[in-house]
Amino acid sequence: MRDPTSFLKSEYDDLVRQELEWKLRVLGGPSTPWCLVDGKKVLMFCSNNYLGLSNHPKLKDAAIKAVQTHGAGSGSVRPIAGNMDLHRELERKLAAFKEAEASLVYQTGFAANAGLIPQLAGKGDLIISDELNHGSIIDGVRLSAAERKVFKHADTEDLSKVLDEAEQAAPVFRRILVITDGVFSMDGDIAPLDRIAALAHDHGAMVYVDDAHGEGVLGPGGRGIVSHFKLPRDRVHVEMGTFSKAFGVVGGHVSGSQDLVNFAYNKSRTWLLSGSHPPAVVAACTAAVDVLEHEPQHVQKLWDNTRYFKKAMRDLGFDIGRSETPITPVMVGESGKAKKLSSRLFDLGVFALPIVYPMVAQGKARIRTIMNAALTQEDLDFAVGAFEKAGKELEIV
């Protein structure tokens, strides 16, 4: 009798043959500049922990105290009995930080996109999405019954064309939703949100930005891409983000009008049907917001490190693409060579992962480095030296 699960092994084996499989390494302790990975002391160069907050004493203290006062878990989903005062306090502080009317915390950033996008646009509506948007946006769009269009990456002329065509469509769309990443996670470039918002406004369309990699990075005090472009709140209707990157913890959220939040928590099944964050997580997230409010030096150090590293890599002859942010891809091309470079870097004491197809296009494999405010100049020089040695050995530079 035929094994109905035989495809599992065959498809995985095919990934191995193409050198496209993920090999999971084990972090043996906190995410710090120097950490234990698979038992080896290495320099962390690929985490999303931009500001080093995941091991910040204020976040750890807040988490411990919350366990003592509120227990280990919430006991339910928020609509039933899991809506703690800690959750409400986090949303209040987050909204103030984002300078928005209201915020709503989701279990993850993926849950925010998957749960809210299909509710904002359905049958009779149109979603227009950047071609390089994150997979969670793509999945959220696929869950919607709306018609879908894609505009060329960060190309506002193409977006204008798609919007013009939408206005001439028959029957007329009820609603149009334009969605873009704020910072694109593979190349580190920034969406032209100012121009996107202006075009959407002219066409009466909603704007949804996923600012997962912009929070804690862009704008005054790390408030994100809307603040970075000094955009009025009524021009960007949904600002989505995550606590798992610069905030150093875990969870997703959206900020905008009170009407948006009321709509979202009544309509998003990912929010309605998932257990709420345990007290320790919520308290740590709240502490992270406080740290960004009162310790601006972390964001400044992040950018100082970013500029130093980018210049050093360019001077060595590495291709670091079009990055404008602390995400710095080291372009390699072939997936196999990117994996060899990552492996050699690990031997030399630097943990930096390869990004290969299908996460990026064929022939666009790279080592994606992500800068961290906790790194010293000596750490950066160590990493640059490792890249230089491995890059020359593999004839990349």
- 3-state SS, the chain, equals CCCCCHHHHHHHHHHHHCCCCCCCCCECCCCCCEEEECCEEEEECCCCCCCCHHHCHHHHHHHHHHHHHHCCCCCCECCCCCCCHHHHHHHHHHHHHHCCCEEEEECCHHHHHHHHHHHHCCCCCEEEEECCCCHHHHHHHHCCCCEEEEECCCCHHHHHHHHHHHHCCCCCCCCEEEEEECECCCCCCECCHHHHHHHHHHCCCEEEEECCCCCCCCCHHHCCHHHHCCCCHHHCCEEEEECCCCCCCCCEEEEECHHHHHHHHHHCHHHHCCECCCHHHHHHHHHHHHHHHHCCHHHHHHHHHHHHHHHHHHHHCCCCCCCCCCEEEEEEECHHHHHHHHHHHHHCCEECCEECCCCCCCCCEEEEEECCCCCCHHHHHHHHHHHHHHHHHCCCC
Query: From the candidates 56, 93, 134, 213, which is the catalytic residue?
Result: 213
Task: Name the maximum alpha-carbon separation found in the chain.
Answer: 65
- Residue of 54, 129, 185, 227 with catalytic role: 185
Say which of 98, 245, 253, 310 is annotated catalytic.
245
Active site residue 228: no
Is 213 marked active-site?
yes
**Other CB atoms within 10 Å distance of the CB of residue 197:** 23
Pairing of β 147-151 and β 126-130: parallel
Cα distance between residue 373 and residue 96, in whole Å = 24
Is 335 assigned a catalytic role? no
**How many C-beta atoms lie closer than 10 Å to residue 321's C-beta?**
18
Instruction: List, by residue number, the catalytic residues.
Output: 185, 213, 245
